[in-house]
Structure 1
Amino acid sequence: MQARTAHGAGLGFRRELIAPLQAGMPAAIDFFELAPENWAGMGGRSARQLREFSERYPFVCHGLSLSLGGPGPLDETLLHRIRDFMREHGMTLYTEHLSWCADDRQLYDLLPIPQTEAAVRWTAERIQRVQDILGQRIGIENASTYVAPPGAEMSEAEFITAVVEAADCLLHLDVNNIYVNSRNFGFDAHEFLAALPLKRTCYIHVAGHYVEPDGLIIDTHGAPVIDPVWSLLADAYARIGGDVPTCLERDFNFPDLAALTAEIDIIARLQAAAPSIQRKAA
């Protein structure tokens, strides 16, 4: 299939949304995002439904289970499946979390990587291997975390920058994750944003979250985006320009398509209001 490059404002491709999208595709949606683990190798009705959309719209692959910072071997069988899947559907961008989620088996959680020089080298080498197999640079996403890993030799922003530079990869910026961590760990979200290697930004996530009764914020992707997160997204565009493809993540508690489209419209308005800035992501 002809390659399609994502641009503008997009939405996570979820099975619960397929029927509403088939009934009337909102003009505001420029692209979709999916987790390749959930779709690669799928046949039957699911494969036909995906093909219906991938023939008309760009898709971004956002991985969930590579465990880039984990102690176990990379799942190279999965990587080859992802590479073939992307080629089959003309997908040109792959991103993954800067975290670990497996040892001898999947742990089904995204855990923080110790912020050490050794971890930088280990993670960067694994990212380089991923890039070699996929034949392209990937974006790594700043993750939401709920515990600070021990033995830190640098700040989280310094760790992300060091990994990106050592691996020569790109940055997948998640502004909601920055906000969540800033509230849970007590730092300034805008200062953290400014400290990241923003010139490497290839992709952005924005999402909602849940606040526990004790004030702990959980990155759920199950609620509307709040104003401080929109403000952080606007700050990101002011620093890197508005031409970065940006996806609204919504994984459950789906409202009607009109409500989702209203949030996608906010992304588009913020992109249009931002300056056009030359970046190093390409």
Structure 2
Amino acid sequence: MHNLTGVGLGLRRELIDAFLRANQLPDFIEVAPENWMGFGGRHAKQFAACVERTPLICHGLSLSIGGSHPLNLEFVGQIKQFLKQHNALLYSEHLSYSHDGGYLYDLLPIPMTEAAVSYVAERILKVQDILGQRLVIENVSTYAIPAAEMTEAEFVVAVLDAADCELLLDVNNVYVNSINHGSDAQAFIRAMPPERVRYLHVAGHQQVSPDLLIDTHGAAIVDPVWDLLRYTYQHIGVRPTLLERDFNLPTWFELQQELQQIRQIQQGYADANQA
């Protein structure tokens, strides 16, 4: 069993040929299990070849942990089987909802209330019980804050404590929300309990206007997000960090340059801590 360390890449199907040809690989890869469950033939063989080369983690899209409809326990069982089949190191999901009687194909915000904390935590505990492992939840980018009784940081920490789960800290989402809602990105990072942070995401986004960013994963990482990544390492320590790039895919070489930039930042903080 591998430990999760270093720098990872979200593996899109369009990248697989380049990945299987590459000499230099990321330290781990991440996929949405929904995009691979039930596949056979060539796709299944390619995926198996990727997992043989590099440790795998899974980042789900459709658990809808904050949704009003009952959890799809059959689906959770399928996830468990997929994780076991491919020796996935962890399973993460979004702290949001994506199902309202039918899949909405978007990640919608949960009202940040005490009642929602209890509701979401109960659902996370049920999923963890079925999986036999901790769920890793991700802070999401939002464009509205419905019925909030607490800050996003307070809500995330309350859910982590109530469910005894782990955190996928998405640094780009923290930055996006700080612009969209006028909040303090560094204060959010400082509020996160370091012992709960399992790994990080970084990505690019689209600037629609000075006070509206859309989390697209379709562009290069911008300087303020690089700065916030440095700040995150400074305050919680170096954590495994994954690059998300889902659209407008660049060349494999360009992706390697961004991965290398993450590596260099990690190494700088690791060296400073050893000095």
Under TM normalisation by the shorter chain, which class is it?
A: over 0.9
2:186 to 173, 180, 190: 190
Q: Secondary structure at the match of 2:53?
A: coil
Which residue is 1:85 aligned to?
Answer: 82
Which residue is 2:110 aligned to?
Answer: 113
- 1:136–1:276 distance in 2 versus 1, CA, 3 Å: farther
- Distance in 2 between residues matched to 1:214 and 1:233, nearest whole Å: 21
- Distance in 2 between residues matched to 1:149 and 1:276, nearest whole Å: 43
Structure 1 residue 30 corresponds to structure 2 residue 27: yes
Which residue is 1:161 aligned to?
Answer: 157
- The alpha carbon displacement at 1:129 in A equals 0.7
- The alpha carbon displacement at 1:224 in A equals 0.2
- The alpha carbon displacement at 1:125 in A equals 0.4
The one-letter amino acid of 1:272's match is Q
- Distance in 2 between residues matched to 1:207 and 1:22, nearest whole Å: 23
Which residue is 2:249 aligned to?
Answer: 254
1:6 to 1, 4, 19: 4
- Distance in 2 between residues matched to 1:171 and 1:36, nearest whole Å: 19
Provide the aligned C-alpha RMSD in A. 1.6
> What is the aligned-residue identity percentage?
53
- Distance in 2 between residues matched to 1:45 and 1:266, nearest whole Å: 33
Q: Count how many residue pairs are aligned between Structure 1 and Structure 2.
A: 273
- Distance in 1 between residues matched to 2:225 and 2:128, nearest whole Å: 31
Q: Secondary structure at the match of 1:4?
A: coil
Gaps spanning 5+ residues in structure 1: where?
Answer: none
CA contact (8 A) 2:7 2:262 kept: yes
- The alpha carbon displacement at 1:203 in A equals 1.1
- Distance in 2 between residues matched to 1:214 and 1:120, nearest whole Å: 32
Gaps spanning 5+ residues in structure 2: where?
Answer: none
TM-score normalised by structure 2 residue count? 0.95
- 1:147–1:141 distance in 2 versus 1, CA, 3 Å: same
Q: Deviations over 1:15-59 (max 9, x none)?
A: 1101112222424x1110000011122111111001001112101
- Distance in 2 between residues matched to 1:56 and 1:128, nearest whole Å: 33
CA contact (8 A) 2:20 2:50 kept: no
Which residue is 1:200 aligned to?
Answer: 196
Which residue is 1:95 aligned to?
Answer: 92
- 1:265–1:143 distance in 2 versus 1, CA, 3 Å: same
- Distance in 1 between residues matched to 2:270 and 2:166, nearest whole Å: 21
Which residue is 2:66 aligned to?
Answer: 69
- The alpha carbon displacement at 1:155 in A equals 0.9
Which residue is 1:21 aligned to?
Answer: 19
Q: Deviations over 1:56-84 (max 9, x none)?
A: 21011001111111100111111111111
Q: Secondary structure at the match of 1:55?
A: helix
The one-letter amino acid of 2:166's match is L
- Distance in 1 between residues matched to 2:271 and 2:68, nearest whole Å: 40
CA contact (8 A) 1:240 1:277 kept: no
Q: Secondary structure at the match of 2:187?
A: helix
Which residue is 1:134 aligned to?
Answer: 131
Q: How does 1:37-56 map to 2 (within 5 A)?
A: 37-56=34-53
- The alpha carbon displacement at 1:277 in A equals 11
- Distance in 1 between residues matched to 2:54 and 2:236, nearest whole Å: 25
- The alpha carbon displacement at 1:199 in A equals 2.3
